[in-house]
């Protein structure tokens, strides 16, 4: 069974109604990135940052996976699929994808301020316990914080993601500007023999010598076209 690795970005979740950060009207126009998405911002004003992600979490409960999410999950009927996502929501999992690597953390989890990447400190949140409060403690006694990789912090899952991309027979990029590193650098790990498909309605800067097939559609329509291409090739 061929191995497909999918790198998904904000354009994927935007079709579900999740606010993006970089587009016009996105969250960066409402908040300063250094205030809510950097380790310095968190240490300076943890209550502001915790409340910001509480709001994001509540919004996540109001949306559903888009058609594109479901089609990514459906690919598992034909291929060995790994999703590498820059998104912090759980929409891929809710759509049925069984193997998801979250590069930038997971919105529905909390962790220790002192040891954020220690798996023993992770707490899974749910609809009944959706918010983190100042004074909520991790098991190591430090303040619980969102399990998010902020600017200024290492990306623990990038090596595992690079290994998956290196083994891919087919690499698919959906809804990402390829501006955010180290995720944008994953294309460099692709095998020269692996076809690359880019699904995005807009022009995307391409800094790789690897040729790619650009499907100029949104995530859902683009995935429908990709499904036709891949299942045709498989047949």
* Residue 174 φ then ψ, to 5°: -125, 120
Distance CA 97, CA 51 (A): 29
Strands 3-8 and 80-85: parallel
C-alpha Rg value of the chain to the nearest Å: 18
147 pLDDT more than 70: yes
Catalytic residue IDs: 104
Rounded to an integer, the average pLDDT of 120-130 is 94
* Residue position matching structure tokens 């891919």: 168
C-alpha 134/C-alpha 46 separation (Å) is 8
Task: Using the predicted structure, report yes or no on whether residue 81 has a pLDDT greater than 80.
Answer: yes
Tell me if the bond preceding 182 is cis, omega within 30° of 0. Answer: yes
- Rounded CA-CA distance 216/137 in Å is 46
C-alpha 156: how far from its chain's center? 14
- Give the pLDDT mean for 137-149: 97
Q: What confidence score (pLDDT) does residue 180 get?
A: 65
Location of structure tokens 């400190």:
121
Q: What is the pLDDT of residue 28?
A: 47
- Domains, the chain, ranges and CATH? 3-234 (3.40.50.1220)
Contact 83, 105 (CB under 8 A): no
- Average pLDDT value for residue range 26-46: 81
Average pLDDT, the chain: 90
Task: Report pLDDT for 69.
Answer: 98
CA 224/CA 228 separation, integer angstroms:
6
């Amino acid at each position: 069974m061929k191995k497909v690795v999918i790198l998904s970005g904000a354009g994927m979740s935007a079709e579900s109604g999740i606010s993006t950060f970089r587009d016009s009207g996105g969250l960066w126009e409402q908040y300063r990135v250094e205030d809510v998405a950097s380790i310095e911002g968190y240490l300076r004003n943890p209550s502001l940052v915790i409340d910001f992600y509480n709001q994001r979490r509540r919004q996540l409960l109001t949306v559903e996976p888009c058609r594109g999410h479901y089609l990514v999950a459906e690919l598992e009927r034909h291929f060995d699929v790994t999703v590498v996502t820059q998104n912090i929501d759980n929409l891929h999992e809710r759509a049925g994808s069984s193997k998801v690597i979250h590069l930038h953390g997971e919105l529905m989890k909390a962790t220790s301020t002192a040891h954020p990447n220690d798996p023993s400190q992770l707490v899974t949140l749910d609809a009944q316990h959706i918010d983190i409060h100042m004074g909520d403690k991790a098991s190591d006694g430090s303040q619980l914080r969102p399990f998010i990789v902020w600017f200024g912090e290492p990306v623990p899952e990038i090596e595992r993601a690079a290994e998956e991309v290196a083994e891919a027979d087919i690499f698919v990029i959906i809804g990402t500007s390829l501006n955010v590193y180290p995720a944008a650098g994953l294309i460099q790990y692709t095998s020269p023999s692996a076809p690359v498909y880019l699904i995005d309605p807009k022009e995307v800067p391409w800094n790789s010598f690897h040729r790619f097939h650009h499907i100029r559609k949104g995530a859902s329509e683009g995935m429908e076209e990709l499904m036709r291409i891949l299942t045709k090739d498989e047949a």
